[in-house]
Every structure is written in structure tokens, then in C-alpha cells.
Structure 1
Amino acid sequence: MRLYLAVAAGGFRRYATYGTATAAGVFTNTVFGFIVAYTYIALWDERPGLGGYDQAQALTFVWVSQSLLAAGALIGGGFQETFQERVRTGDIAVDLYRPADLQMWWLAADLGRAAFQLVGRGVVPLVAGALAFQLALPADPVRWLLFLVSVVLGLVVSFALRYLLGLAAFWLMDGAGINLMAQVVTIFFSGVLLPLTVFPGGFGELVRVLPWAAMLQVPMDVLLGKHSGAGSAAGALGFQAGWACVLLGAGRLLQSAATRKVVVQGG
């Protein structure tokens, strides 16, 4: 465990060195937040209560989502491109020789990255949104604690999905195409564009049980009090934990198949 904590700390420090990139990301998230916020205001003026949210809750969804975009790699980024490049060049052999579990190593590193992004790129946009708009941020510390647990589970689900993308490079070699498709799917099905609760009927029920919902929609509903009861909160966190276990297990199986076929020139 100490090894993986050190790996996570290394991931945090690595991204902390990119001050200019972080500042640019904060600016981008803040500007994009204002654009989406005014779009939501116009939409909720026409359709009050859309998706079960009032306007203040909808604006809260916007600004808290902006604080989670980089951490969850919801619009790209993360470790998978580096992983795929290491597979392509053969450097993955170094990772396999380490006295550490491959999946746990990359999970620890990605959680360290996400922790920095939460602080470095998440705080300023949220503060800017809270100053400019009336948000429905809760005063209950228990709800914030549940939200934090939900965010961590969402980050694990995000990692697990992206780990499958990384492993696909053992067969595809070039992951650009699958990364692009996965990014589009994530943006739509996680709730980045619109809360998943606005989708009606059977389609809405379907998208809310897919793993992408665990990455953003569920944490936001926990924060906004949609899972306020103990049983409801446990169900929401259990939903995330269940998908995390399923996807990590799938990654473990695919990793086993991938490492049986890896061939590195010269060894």
C-alpha cells in the first residue's frame, strides 16, 4: 500500500509542475462554465423544473461539473494515451517487470493526477460560479462527505473504463480512433452536456444505469440531495461501487489476455 501511495503522490506532483497548463485549464473551465450557465438559464426559463432540477440546482450542476471535468477526464486527458504509447513503443515491458500490479500502479497514478486536478482546476471555476450565480450548494457537511465519496468512486469508474481503452492498444496499436469515440460517448452519457435526468422514457432509464452515469450524474445527484435518505445514498454509492468492481474485473481479465500476447523486440 505504501508503494501505491507513493505512486499517487508522484502523480500529484507531476501535474503540479505544469503551472501554465493548469492556469490555462482554469481559464477555459471558467469561460466554458459561463457559456453553459447562460444556456441553462435560457433553457430553464422555458422549461422550469426540467429534469427535476430548479434553476439554482441546474446552475450548480454546471459549475460543479466544471470542477470535475479534468479530474474525471470527462472531455479527454488522463493516462490512457500514455499507456497506449508505451504499448506501441514496447516500454510497457518496463511496467510489467516492476514488482507491482500493473492495474494498481496506473490506478494510483491516475488518482494522484485526479487529486491535483480537483484542487488545481476545480476550486476557482466553482468559486467564480458561486460569486456570479445563485447556486444550490448544500450546507450539510454529511452531504458533502457523501459527495466526496461518490466523486472518488466516480474517478475509479472513469479509470476502469479508460484502462480498458489503454489495454485495447495491445491489439489496435494506435488508440487515436477508439479514444475519440470513447470521448464522444463519455461527454454524452455522463451528463456533461445535459443532466441525464432530462432524457425521457426508456432511453432516459437506460442511460442512467450505464457506467458513465456513475462518473458525473450520480455524484451531482448526491450533492443536490436527490439521494438524501440513508437507503437512497447507499444505493447510489452501491451503484458506483458495483460498476467499479465490474469494470476493474474486466480490466483484470483483459490485462491477463493482453500480457500473454505481448512481444517486445529483443526480449
Structure 2
Amino acid sequence: MRVYLTAVRLSLRRYLAYRSSAAAGAFTNTVFGCIRAFVLMALWKQKPEIGGWDLADAVTYAFLTQGLLAPMGVFMTSTELGPRIRTGDVAVDLYRPVDFQTWWLSLDLGRALGGGLLRTVPPVLFGALLFPVRLPSSPLRWTEFAVCCALGYLISFGLRYLASLAAFWTMDERGMSSILVALGMFCSGLIIPLSVVPGALGTVLLHTPWAGIMQMPINVLLGTQSGGVGYALAFGTFWAVLLLAAGRMLTDVARHKVVVQGG
């Protein structure tokens, strides 16, 4: 366990070192949060309530999604494992006396914590100061939100880890990863809240793993999650366990059946 905690600490330290880049990212996220908030405000002014959300819920959603972008890795095409498989450097990683999947999870967790510390608070704080947002005061609600975010992060890592492993067979994971990013942008609720997508499409999207990355944690924070917190936790746990188990199984297959690039 100590080696994984050290990996998290060193990875976090590496990401915290680039403060100017983080400040630029936070500024960009805040600007896009404002743009998306104005778009949603125009939409909600035409219809004061959509899908059980009022204007304050929609604006809160706009800034929370921007704040969760970095820690959840929605725009990340894969983990750092993908390029190492492509170059053959993964051979060194396979010889490390650690669990392969847990090692990469630890490194990615350090990145997520760094992104959360430097790029999550500014957009949300700016939105709360200048826009009609609805942030709960209940510590319990925030705790539930944090747990759902942790499960959402595991889902995100599970998807990106599987995309990275594709490089063992395709020799380049970037095509698969680009498809994953495109799906993630829409299916996670980043472009438009899944709660307001009508009909069968909305139902399908709410049952994909991407829904647990951002949409459900925000629903829990706003108190609008259908089925309550229990459903959101069960949903997130199911997809996190399934994807991590699939990644572990595929790792074992790759370790025994695939030749690393370069021989």
C-alpha cells in the first residue's frame, strides 16, 4: 500500500508544479462556464422549468461541470499508459513489483487530485459570486456528492484504462481514445444536462457509465437525482467495479498473450 500512496503523492506533486498552466486552465474553464451559463439562462427563460430543473439548477450545473472537467478527465484521451505501450516502454512497467492496474490508478489519482485542487474551485466560486446558483449548505449533501464524484472518477479511469490497453492490440490507442472522448462529452452531460434530454434517448443516456461521471454527482448535490442517493451510489459502484474488473482481465490477457512493441 505504501508504494501506491507514494505514487499518488509524487504524481500530485508533479501536477501541482505547473501552476501557471493550471491557472490558465482554471481561467478557461471559468470563461466557458460563463458562456454555457448564459446559453442555459436563455433556454430556461423560455421555459422556467425543464426536467424538474429551474434556472438556478441549470446555472449551477454549468459551473460544476466546468469544475469537474479536470479531475474527471473528460477531455483526456487515455491514461499515461497508452503512449508507453505505443513506444514499448511498458516493458519496464510490466517488470515492476507492483500490481499493474493499481500502479496506473495511483498515478492517475495524483493527476486528478491536482486538477481538483487547482481547477475545480475557481469556476464554481466565480459562478456563485455572479450568477444565481444553488449550492446546498448541508455537510451531508456535500459528503454524498464527494462519494459520487469518487465513484465517477473510478468510472472515468476504468474507461480510459481500457482505451489505453487497446494499444496492445492496435499499436495505437489514439483512435479508440478519440471516440471515447466524443462519447464522453455528450453522454456525461457536459454539453447538455442528461436530465433534460427527452424520450428514450434520455433514458438510454442515463444508464450509460458516462452518466455516473458528472451528471449523477451533480444531481445528488442538487437533490434532483431520480431514485435518490442510494440509486446513484449503486449505479456508480456497479459501473466502477465492472470497468475495473474488465481492465484487470484485459491486462492479464495482454500480459500473457501480446508481444510488446519493439520485441
Identify the TM-score tier after normalising by the shorter chain. over 0.9
* Residues 266 and 134 (structure 1), Cα distance of their counterparts in 2 relative to 1, 3 Å cut: closer
Deviation at 1:9, TM superposition (A): 1.1
Structure 2 residue aligned with 1:64: 64
Deviation at 1:144, TM superposition (A): 0.3
Counterpart-to-counterpart distance in 1, 2:160 and 2:115: 17
- State yes or no: 1:13 paired with 2:13: yes
For residues 90-113 of structure 1, the C-alpha deviation after alignment (integer angstroms, 9 at most, x for no partner) is 111111111111111111111111
Structure 2: any 5+ residue segments left out of the alignment?
A: none
Indicate conservation of the 8 Å contact 1:65/1:192, yes or no.
yes
Counterpart-to-counterpart distance in 1, 2:250 and 2:26: 36
Deviation at 1:23, TM superposition (A): 1.2
- State yes or no: 1:263 paired with 2:245: no
Q: What number of residue pairs does the alignment pair up? A: 263
Indicate conservation of the 8 Å contact 2:37/2:59, yes or no.
yes
TM-score by length of 2: 0.96
Structure 2 residue aligned with 1:149: 147
Q: Secondary structure at the match of 1:5?
A: helix
Deviation at 1:266, TM superposition (A): 7.5
Counterpart-to-counterpart distance in 2, 1:6 and 1:60: 35
Structure 1 residue aligned with 2:115: 117
Structure 1 residue aligned with 2:43: 43
Q: Which one of the candidate residues 103, 106, 114 is aligned to 1:108?
A: 106
- Cα RMSD of the aligned pairs, angstroms, is 1.5
Q: Which one of the candidate residues 215, 226, 236 is aligned to 1:240?
A: 236
Counterpart-to-counterpart distance in 1, 2:259 and 2:158: 24
Counterpart-to-counterpart distance in 2, 1:264 and 1:71: 30
For residues 72-122 of structure 1, the C-alpha deviation after alignment (integer angstroms, 9 at most, x for no partner) is 111226x52x31111111111111111111111111111111111111001
Indicate conservation of the 8 Å contact 2:85/2:260, yes or no.
no
Letter in 1 for 2:8: A
Counterpart-to-counterpart distance in 2, 1:251 and 1:5: 21
For residues 175-209 of structure 1, the C-alpha deviation after alignment (integer angstroms, 9 at most, x for no partner) is 22212111110000000001101111221111101
Counterpart-to-counterpart distance in 2, 1:175 and 1:66: 26
For residues 18-75 of structure 1, the C-alpha deviation after alignment (integer angstroms, 9 at most, x for no partner) is 1221111011101111110100100111122112210001111011111100111112
Counterpart-to-counterpart distance in 1, 2:262 and 2:175: 29
* Residues 186 and 10 (structure 1), Cα distance of their counterparts in 2 relative to 1, 3 Å cut: same
Deviation at 1:5, TM superposition (A): 1.2
Structure 1 residue aligned with 2:31: 31
Counterpart-to-counterpart distance in 2, 1:85 and 1:115: 22
Structure 2 residue aligned with 1:174: 172
Indicate conservation of the 8 Å contact 1:51/1:195, yes or no.
no
Indicate conservation of the 8 Å contact 2:37/2:62, yes or no.
yes
For residues 206-255 of structure 1, the C-alpha deviation after alignment (integer angstroms, 9 at most, x for no partner) is 11011000001110001001249xx7212211110110000011111111
Percent identity of equivalent pairs: 48
Structure 1 residue aligned with 2:85: 87
Structure 1 residue aligned with 2:207: 209
Structure 2 residue aligned with 1:74: 74
Structure 2 residue aligned with 1:134: 132
Deviation at 1:130, TM superposition (A): 0.7
* Residues 265 and 48 (structure 1), Cα distance of their counterparts in 2 relative to 1, 3 Å cut: closer
For residues 140-187 of structure 1, the C-alpha deviation after alignment (integer angstroms, 9 at most, x for no partner) is 110000000111110000000000000000011112221211111000
Structure 1: any 5+ residue segments left out of the alignment?
A: none
Letter in 1 for 2:4: Y
Indicate conservation of the 8 Å contact 2:155/2:212, yes or no.
yes
TM-score by length of 1: 0.94
